[in-house]
Structure 1
């Protein structure tokens, strides 16, 4: 097959996933639809090497580092400090879910399956990329590749109903506290333009995509070199994330660099297609066999979030319902965090005042929680846990 034909087919499959996701308002995610469409395609005769033929595979392997550096540029450290309770609740509850999968799941589905599945519960395509690379290195792609992909594709169906239920309970309790409601009616956002001049802001004066892309690549390269100096004991993606934050604070990288590259789609497309190419080895029989490990990982992860949310509520002095909602954002992230907040505000609030107060109360916390769990937590947890494979 000609490379252009292969690339076009891959783009069509990706587009189908995106269209269905938009039409169902995110109920069926792009990842889930793409997984189903590619599985059916491979079973119906789609070439198993289509991603390699399209020339996507090499790009997919380098895109992850660029993507993580870009993610680091989205972190607003001042906002995270203001929302310190949200940061602690979301990260700790998500981590509790991951640890329960590792330490309890190993006795049910085996050590390797538990270790591979745990970071995926924490969310993000980058975590999936890290796990997928590790599975290839230890020769477990054939047995566990489909398990981690299914966890990634299906976790939203556990997380969204649980989060929606908890937010509903939290919203009703919030509206009963009139003093608290009045406080959130008066919330105003800070002017982002008040940001201080940064030491390396000279490098961000030119905002052309090619310059921003080059700077992101330089930081990714530095991260790779530093990881090599530690003999890969410190995962390269953790360093990418840290340096992405650092060089943004210094002014070398622009904030939200991914939106300024004109290539975010290409990075995500290449990563997902590279990972999902392993579905070519999946048969209907292996798919059925994979559902038990997937179910165990998702249920244990959710249980870990719920139990720790209850314990943490005593320490942080905030409700268990809110802590569960913040922690379980690891299963879906943005933009579902925004959609759920809006849905609950409009559904529970009966007046414009109540809806506005609920929106001001839930939306910032849910947005930060999704960022902490999916964007930061999943990368850190994957970098720490994945070396235990094999």
Structure 2
């Protein structure tokens, strides 16, 4: 099969996965669909084992991961995080609580590595998976690689239904007690020029990609200087935040490259390369650890949310919903907020108030867990793999 046929086969699977995600409102996400299709393709022989290599996705996809992690740093709005400080604390603490409980239970069961791999992914999904898979490949830990992908693809099935139920419960409470008055006036940030900001003419799609490449290359150089003590991809994310604050990188810069869709496709698909060498037996082996990880992580979020809801005077359902955002992140955080507001609000005014109440909180919680927390967790966890 030539490279173009291999690439087209993968594109078809990805497009079908996106269609399923839209039809199911992201309950069945793109990664789950294409993972199942890829496994069936490899096991049946329809897809060759070297499909990612021949199509060129394997090599280029792994190179582009650094640029994507750098761009994620430009989505961190420090001013908004300050305004939603309670939400940030709840989201971070729930993710930490779930991760610690997963690791503790795994150690007690004599499966430490499963806990070390599962905890960061449960606490943040894609970003953590990208960091961990890079290390797992180097260590040739195929079963743990399969387990990592399983946690990533199945955590939605627990996180989304629980968050949906919690948000509905919170909406009912608000409607019964009286909706809060919302201040729609937002703070305007100072418009002063940042120290490394370039002129608007320098923000073409190619220049944006070049700037991402420069920062990713600097991150790679720093990782060599520290002898890999801090993972290269973690440094990419940190410098993405730094250079965004300095003005060298624009906010959400990936959307300005005119290639964000292609890059997202490459980075999403490249993590499936490990499935080519996965056997049905390995999938069965990770099923029990997978179920334990998801259940224990969920219990950890509930316990942590119960404690924090009292401390911050937040309802338990709202605290649980914020904690569960680590299992799905954006855009599901936005979709759930909008759908709950639309379905629960009885008038246009109620729908607007509910959406204004849920959306900033859910977006902030999902952002802080899926990016900041998960990347640092994964970078820390790598040191303890063997």
Displacement of 1:204 after TM fit? Answer: 5.1
Contact 2:27 2:160 survives alignment (8 Å): no
1:378 and 2:374 are equivalent in the alignment: yes
Contact 1:156 1:332 survives alignment (8 Å): yes
1:170 and 2:166 are equivalent in the alignment: no
1:128 and 2:124 are equivalent in the alignment: no
CA distance in 2, matches of 1:195, 1:86: 27
Displacement of 1:190 after TM fit? Answer: 4.2
Query: Which residue does the alignment assign to 2:7?
Result: 7
The DSSP-based 3-state class of the residue aligned with 2:346 is coil
Query: Which residue does the alignment assign to 2:69?
Result: 68
CA distance in 2, matches of 1:247, 1:286: 42
Displacement of 1:359 after TM fit? Answer: 1.1
Contact 1:109 1:293 survives alignment (8 Å): no
CA distance in 1, matches of 2:370, 2:127: 9
Contact 2:91 2:365 survives alignment (8 Å): yes
Q: Which structure 1 segments of 5+ residues have no match?
A: none
CA distance in 1, matches of 2:119, 2:253: 29
1:187 and 2:181 are equivalent in the alignment: no
Superposition pairs of residues 4-153 of structure 1, within 5 angstroms: 4-45=4-45, 46-108=47-109, 110-141=111-142, 143-153=143-153
1:335 to 331, 337, 346: 331
CA deviation map 1:143-202 (0-9, x unaligned)? 212111111111000001111111122222223343xx2422x4334456x533211122
CA distance in 1, matches of 2:357, 2:283: 42
CA distance in 2, matches of 1:182, 1:19: 37
Displacement of 1:205 after TM fit? Answer: 4.2
1:298 and 2:301 are equivalent in the alignment: no
Displacement of 1:244 after TM fit? Answer: 0.8
Displacement of 1:43 after TM fit? Answer: 1.3
User: What is the number of residues matched between the two proteins?
Assistant: 385
Superposition pairs of residues 306-321 of structure 1, within 5 angstroms: 306-321=302-317
| TM-score (ref. length: structure 1) | 0.94
Contact 1:203 1:253 survives alignment (8 Å): no
CA distance in 2, matches of 1:43, 1:118: 29
Q: Which structure 2 segments of 5+ residues have no match?
A: none
Query: Which residue does the alignment assign to 1:157?
Result: 157
Contact 1:151 1:298 survives alignment (8 Å): yes
Distance 1:242 1:203, change over 3 A: farther
Contact 1:204 1:254 survives alignment (8 Å): no
CA deviation map 1:221-252 (0-9, x unaligned)? 11111122111111222221221111111111
Contact 2:127 2:370 survives alignment (8 Å): no
CA distance in 2, matches of 1:18, 1:2: 25
Runs ≥4 in structure 1, deviation > 6 angstroms? none
Distance 1:308 1:235, change over 3 A: same
CA distance in 2, matches of 1:354, 1:274: 43
2:285 to 244, 267, 289: 289
Query: Which residue does the alignment assign to 1:351?
Result: 347
Displacement of 1:283 after TM fit? Answer: 2.3
Query: Which residue does the alignment assign to 1:263?
Result: 259
Contact 1:64 1:126 survives alignment (8 Å): no
Displacement of 1:337 after TM fit? Answer: 0.7
CA deviation map 1:248-298 (0-9, x unaligned)? 111111111010112222222222222212112222232222211111111
Contact 2:124 2:370 survives alignment (8 Å): yes
Query: Which residue does the alignment assign to 1:272?
Result: 268
Contact 1:64 1:271 survives alignment (8 Å): yes
CA RMSD of aligned residues (A): 1.7
CA distance in 1, matches of 2:100, 2:191: 38
CA deviation map 1:121-141 (0-9, x unaligned)? 122322112111221222212
Displacement of 1:389 after TM fit? Answer: 0.7
Contact 1:159 1:332 survives alignment (8 Å): yes
The DSSP-based 3-state class of the residue aligned with 1:202 is coil
